Amino acid sequence: MISAGDPQLSVVLSGYGGYECLKVMPWPTRLLGKGDVQVAVVVCGMNFADLYTRQGLLHERKPPFVLGMECAGKVTAVGDSVTHINVGDRVLCYQYTGDLYREHVVVSASNCFVLPSGMSYEHGAALAANYLTAYFCVLDIGHLRDGQSILIPSCAGGVGWAATQLARSVGTVTIFGTCSPGKRDAVQKNGVTHPLNHDNYDQELLKHSPDGVDVVIDSVAGSAFSTSQRLLKPLGRAVLIGSSSVVTGSKKIGMWNFLRMWWDTKGISATDLIMHNRVVAGLHLGLLMEREPDRIREAMDHLFQLYEEGKIKPYIDSTWPLDKVVDATKVLAERKNVGKVLLTIERTDSSEL
């Protein structure tokens, strides 16, 4: 167990901007409080939201602070009132406000889930953000059913990969997915029926399915948001989860980019919803975890069950030591990843694990 305040090697965001804002350095931990657990981290899961955060789109906290929304490791201490987690448990942690790219984390027990015995730390660190998000889009809000169809943008990314597997788990479904051309074979192996290019995916989709699709996950936003609505069949469901289109370079996101994305995305016509029998929804996983923890635990239990049945399996694109966080970030920013990018913690003392 570490002492409160002990500096831990961490990925610190020193300000909003380019890669130079990512610093790997010792940073103090917070005090283990009532309801908290302390975890010796083995692996951290990287997310597209790390780009939004560094580039100034998300302002949950003011820099400097430690980045990182998810990790997996072994519990080394528990605070008062923690009942469902014990020292020695292998856990995954998800915290949308960050603070998890470090050797040891102190995190509320409500953000931790004990891993099934057959799940590796790598798969644990790849589960929460991608599979919970996909779960609510595909199975909960999207309510995809046998015989239906779905459009998954960026289907080779972490959420897209998870959404494809969850869509497959409901039966015979037609899956349309967009990705960069070099990733087509991989996404087809994962279960995408029709891989499509980013630039003309709507026309290509309508050639295969002139009436559109039952479910659309929209992680791109901007002008794609109108297209998502237009591609819905009557009683179809579109779930807006992100705005990848706002990330165009590696520097701080400019006000013009942000305004254009906001302007293009804001258009939901109430009349259109009625006249076309459409459902348009939004999802913010982090806030859902804060406000509806029981719904999240239920979803996670279901995901663990699907994992144990072999119906879902995260795909790891690459793993990088913590001090190579800039190289790892470039894999995401340059759209090279298939599946999940991980950061690993190298330990000289492995007695905690």
Ligand X SMILES: NC(=O)c1ccc[n+]([C@@H]2O[C@H](COP(=O)([O-])OP(=O)(O)OC[C@H]3O[C@@H](n4cnc5c(N)ncnc54)[C@H](OP(=O)(O)O)[C@@H]3O)[C@@H](O)[C@H]2O)c1
Binding site for ligand X (CB under 6 A): 47-49, 129-130, 133, 154, 156-159, 178-180, 183, 219-220, 241-242, 244-245, 247, 283-285, 332, 335, 337
> In the chain, which ranges are E strands?
7-13, 22-28, 36-45, 65-66, 70-78, 90-94, 104-108, 112-114, 149-152, 174-178, 194-196, 213-218, 232-240, 279-282, 316-321, 340-344
| Pick 32 or 303: Cβ nearer ligand X | 303
| Pick 115 or 156: Cβ nearer ligand X | 156
Nearest Cα neighbor of 197 from 177, 226, 212 is 177
Minimum CB distance to ligand X, residue 332 (Å): 4
| Pick 12 or 155: Cβ nearer ligand X | 155
Is residue 315 within 8 Å of residue 340, measured between CB atoms? Answer: yes
Minimum CB distance to ligand X, residue 85 (Å): 24
Minimum CB distance to ligand X, residue 246 (Å): 7
Is residue 125 within 8 Å of residue 43, measured between CB atoms? Answer: yes
Minimum CB distance to ligand X, residue 219 (Å): 4
| Pick 75 or 134: Cβ nearer ligand X | 134
Spatial neighbors of 37 by CB under 8 A, at least 6 apart, are 75, 77, 78, 79, 82, 85, 91, 106, 107, 108, 109, 112
| Pick 42 or 220: Cβ nearer ligand X | 220
Minimum CB distance to ligand X, residue 179 (Å): 4
Residues facing 280 on adjacent strands: 238
| Pick 38 or 164: Cβ nearer ligand X | 164
Nearest Cα neighbor of 47 from 62, 65, 67, 61 is 67
Q: CA 70, CA 87: separation in Å to the nearest integer?
A: 19
Minimum CB distance to ligand X, residue 39 (Å): 21
Tokens of 47: 């997310």
